[in-house]
């Protein structure tokens, strides 16, 4: 995939990869980094932007984004994810946020509620939670980059999307 019309292709490919992982429902192991098992979900909305330079952009909203055939059909037509609402679950904790491909950034982060009553403990846990999210995102991006270099990567994504050569 190439970078055209200002779309950051790596951010878009990463969002496409997250969409794929979310749709398959498999957990990802980050035990080697001390982060345990995580689950990734694309929730509520995904924005798809055309890579052909025609300026087409659509936002699809649904509770079941990954199971909608219209999202895969739009991707098949040359539209890549430009933004999505992401939720990461690890143990009993959930983080949700908006992830944008261009510029590549996270916003609107909702940290897990851990139930501390003491203000100092609550602040400490929120800082730990932000650090854990940062580590998980770095680990996910590194995993994506490693998978992206495998020979089967493009074919696996095409198969998932139902694209035949």
Residues of the chain with pLDDT under 70: 1-8, 165
**Tokens found for residue 99:** 């992830």
**Is residue 45 one of the residues assigned to a domain?**
yes
What is the predicted pLDDT for the residue at 165? Answer: 66
Whole-angstrom Cα distance, residue 69 to residue 98? 22
Full-model pTM = 0.88
What is the predicted pLDDT for the residue at 1? Answer: 42
Radius of gyration over every alpha carbon of the chain, rounded to an integer in angstroms: 17
**Is residue 61 one of the residues assigned to a domain?**
yes
> Which domain range does residue 28 map to?
9-155
| Residue at token pair 């959930």 | 94
**Is residue 14 one of the residues assigned to a domain?**
yes
What is the predicted pLDDT for the residue at 8? Answer: 54
Query: Total domain count for the chain?
Result: 1
**Is residue 160 one of the residues assigned to a domain?**
no
What 3 state SS string does 138-158 have?
HHHHHHHHHHHCCCCHHHHHH
What is the predicted pLDDT for the residue at 116? Answer: 81
């Amino acid at each position: 995939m190439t970078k055209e019309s200002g779309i950051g292709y790596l951010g878009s490919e990463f969002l496409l990869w997250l969409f794929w992982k979310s749709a398959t429902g498999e957990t990802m192991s980050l035990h080697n980094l001390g982060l345990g098992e995580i689950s990734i979900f694309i929730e509520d909305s995904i924005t798809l932007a055309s890579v052909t330079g025609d300026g087409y952009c659509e936002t699809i909203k649904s509770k079941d984004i990954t199971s909608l055939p219209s999202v895969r059909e739009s991707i098949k037509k040359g539209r890549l994810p430009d933004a999505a609402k992401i939720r990461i679950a690890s143990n009993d904790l959930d983080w949700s946020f908006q992830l944008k491909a261009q510029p590549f950034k996270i916003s609107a982060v909702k940290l897990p509620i851990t139930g501390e009553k003491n203000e100092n403990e609550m602040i400490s846990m929120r800082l730990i939670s932000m650090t854990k999210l940062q580590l998980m995102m770095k680990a996910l991006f590194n995993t994506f980059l490693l998978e992206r270099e495998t020979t089967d990567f493009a074919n696996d994504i095409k198969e998932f999307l139902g694209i035949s050569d």
